[in-house]
Each structure stands twice: as structure tokens, then as C-alpha cells.
Amino acid sequence: MELKINGICKTYGMIKGLDKFSATLTDGVYGLLGPNGAGKTTLIRIITDSISCDSGEISLNGVDIKDLGLSFRSYLGYMPQQDGIYPSFTAAQYLSYIGALKALRREEMNRQVEYVLKAVNLLEVSDRRIGTFSGGMKQRLMLAQALIGDPKIIILDEPTAGLDPKERIRIRNLISGYALNRIVIIATHVVSDVEYIAKEIILIKKGRLIYHDTPDRLCKSLENRVFEIKTYEENLEKILSRFEVCNIQKTTESIIVRILLKENQSEKKDLYGYDYRMIRATVEDVYLSVFDEEREKELIK
């Protein structure tokens, strides 16, 4: 299966929501990363046929999704960012309703509802009203509704928000398992959610595609730029002002600061005098390096 996004443009008045965005997606998990307002939700809404694009096209296996029309929606499973639930429905009723909307046959419905409820660990509370669910339970239910109907393209907007670490891992594994013969797009801020399961990472900034590559290659792009400095508390302020700090870890004796060298900085010149060692970059480091500007603006605000 191939979902081809070709030169999508979308403007809201003077603001460019998406600017000639192109990408080709095949089976596997795709991490769609970007700060707020980057255009992630706009892209998702165009893929889910909720809004139209100004120009460009999206095709599934070579056919424009506009021409596919209703049948394209039968391929879709979508989990929006906000909880879209009916508080007075029970979990089973809700999934059964979504199943009906997805044109599931009755005999199939029973099997699928139980399966997804079990998958998201809600089988025990399937007869409870959704209004009484906790935030995490609602989040899992939203994921369940996206998975029901065996969709071939699954789009998840912040799927792990509000989940505890155990559930987060559980859901991550579940998504990973589902992605074997499907296209799964995960839009998130939590880099660790996609780092280990994503086949490819898509970085989007101001509506433009910045990077689209495998996590390994993305990390390689930051080779020789990520370091760990072993220092003491009195030097911390100086390091913070000088480098892009990714992480600070306090040990019994010292402090270990993970830094990212900027384009204009060099190991020999800028790290001279520090007790440091070079380490392998992660996707989080890539994210920080790409969206640094945004972070600065936010800090100023």
C-alpha cells in the first residue's frame, strides 16, 4: 500500500498551514513531529478528507482519494487529539456504534469490539459509562475506536497523552504490532513514543517538510555534535548559557549535562577545558536541533 502526498498547499488567510508538502508513505509507522502550529493537524485533516487542500493531491495506490470518495474512508482509522465521546454511552456501545458507522457487519462487530477492548485493556469496564472513565481510559477508548474495522491507514494524533508509563509502552507495542501491513501515522510531541517504533520520522516546521528519513539516518545527521559533559553545580549556569542543553542528570558526585553543539560551535574550541565525551545522537536531539528557534521564541514569550 502506498499513500502519496504530492505538493499539498493550504493557507488560512495570510498564514500558510501547509506549503508544498510531499511525502510517500508505505506500510509501517511514521512519526510526524513538529511544534504547535507546524501543520500536523492540517495535514491529518486533509488526509482524513475533513478539509480540502488549495493545491496538490493525495493518492492511495495511485488513485486520488477524492476519486476514491467513500471507499477511501473505509481504509481510515483516526484518533483525534481531543476526546470525542458520548459520556452516557458504555465503552461497548460506543465501539459498536463506531463499528456500525464503519460499515462493519454484525457478526464481525462482536469479534472486533471484544478484540480492541482487550487490546487497549478496557474489556473489564466495557459496560461502564464513558462519562465515569479517567482521562487515560478515555484516551485508550479513542485509540480503540481508531483500530476498530481493521483500517489500513491509521492516523493517531497524540495517542499516548495522559497515559501512565506502563500503558504508554503497552500502546506503543500495540501500534507497532498493528503496523506490520498498515500505514500508521503518529503525530506527537513525545519523541520517545515514535523513536523506537517508527520506520521513518517526518519533521514538519511552518507547514514545510524539514526531514523525512529513518531515525538512524536522522541521528547520523547529528554525528559529532552530541556530547555529555561531566561537571559541578557551580558551572551549570555557564554551560546552560553557552550550549543547547538536551538533558541534565544529577549523580552523587557530579552533574552530567547532555549538550548539542550548534552549527557554529566546534568540539575542540568550545569544549576545551571540560570533562566530556561524545555520544550517539537520538531523535530527541534531532528534534531539539531543528525546532530550537521555536523553543527560543516560546521562552521569550
Q: Which one, 93 or 265, has the nearer CB to other proteins?
A: 93
What cell does 42 get?
492540517
Strands (E), 141-231: 153-157, 183-188, 200-205, 208-213, 226-231
Shortest gap between Cβ of 86 and other proteins (angstroms)?
A: 6
Cα–Cα distance, 49 to 175 (Å, whole number):
23
Q: Which residue of 88, 173, 192, 266 would you call a contact of other proteins, by CB under 8 A?
A: 88
- The DSSP bridge partners found for residue 202 are 32, 212
Tell me the site size for other proteins, rule CB under 8 A.
53
Q: Which one, 90 or 265, has the nearer CB to other proteins?
A: 90
Which range binds other proteins by CB under 8 A, 88-96, 192-200, 214-222, 287-295?
A: 88-96
Shortest gap between Cβ of 113 and other proteins (angstroms)?
A: 4
**Checking DSSP bridges between strand 200-205 and strand 208-213, what pairing results, if any?**
antiparallel
- The DSSP bridge partners found for residue 180 are none
- The yes or no reply on residue 59 touching other proteins (CB under 8 A) is no
Cα–Cα distance, 78 to 45 (Å, whole number):
10
Shortest gap between Cβ of 74 and other proteins (angstroms)?
A: 5
Shortest gap between Cβ of 287 and other proteins (angstroms)?
A: 26
- The yes or no reply on residue 24 touching other proteins (CB under 8 A) is no
Cα–Cα distance, 150 to 196 (Å, whole number):
23
- The yes or no reply on residue 162 touching other proteins (CB under 8 A) is no
Cα–Cα distance, 287 to 261 (Å, whole number):
14
- The yes or no reply on residue 177 touching other proteins (CB under 8 A) is no
- The yes or no reply on residue 61 touching other proteins (CB under 8 A) is no
- The yes or no reply on residue 6 touching other proteins (CB under 8 A) is yes
Cα–Cα distance, 154 to 147 (Å, whole number):
7
Cα–Cα distance, 56 to 228 (Å, whole number):
44
Q: Are 77 and 151 in contact (CB under 8 A)?
A: yes
Which range binds other proteins by CB under 8 A, 23-31, 90-98, 188-196, 287-295?
A: 90-98
* Residues 203-242 as x/- pattern, contact with other proteins by CB under 8 A: ----------------------------------------
- The yes or no reply on residue 66 touching other proteins (CB under 8 A) is yes
Angle, to 10 degrees, between the axis of helix 283-290 and the axis of helix 292-300? 60
Encoded amino acid at 121, one letter: N
Shortest gap between Cβ of 96 and other proteins (angstroms)?
A: 5
Question: How many Å from the N-terminal Cα to the C-terminal Cα in the chain?
Answer: 44
Q: Are 122 and 111 in contact (CB under 8 A)?
A: no
Cα–Cα distance, 243 to 231 (Å, whole number):
14
- The yes or no reply on residue 82 touching other proteins (CB under 8 A) is yes
- The yes or no reply on residue 15 touching other proteins (CB under 8 A) is no
* Residues 124-153 as x/- pattern, contact with other proteins by CB under 8 A: --xxxx-xx---------x--x---x----
- The yes or no reply on residue 87 touching other proteins (CB under 8 A) is yes
Interface residues with other proteins (CB under 8 A)?
Answer: 6-9, 20, 48-52, 55-57, 66, 70, 73-74, 76, 78, 80, 82-88, 90, 92-93, 95-98, 100-103, 106, 109-110, 113-114, 123, 126-129, 131-132, 142, 145, 149
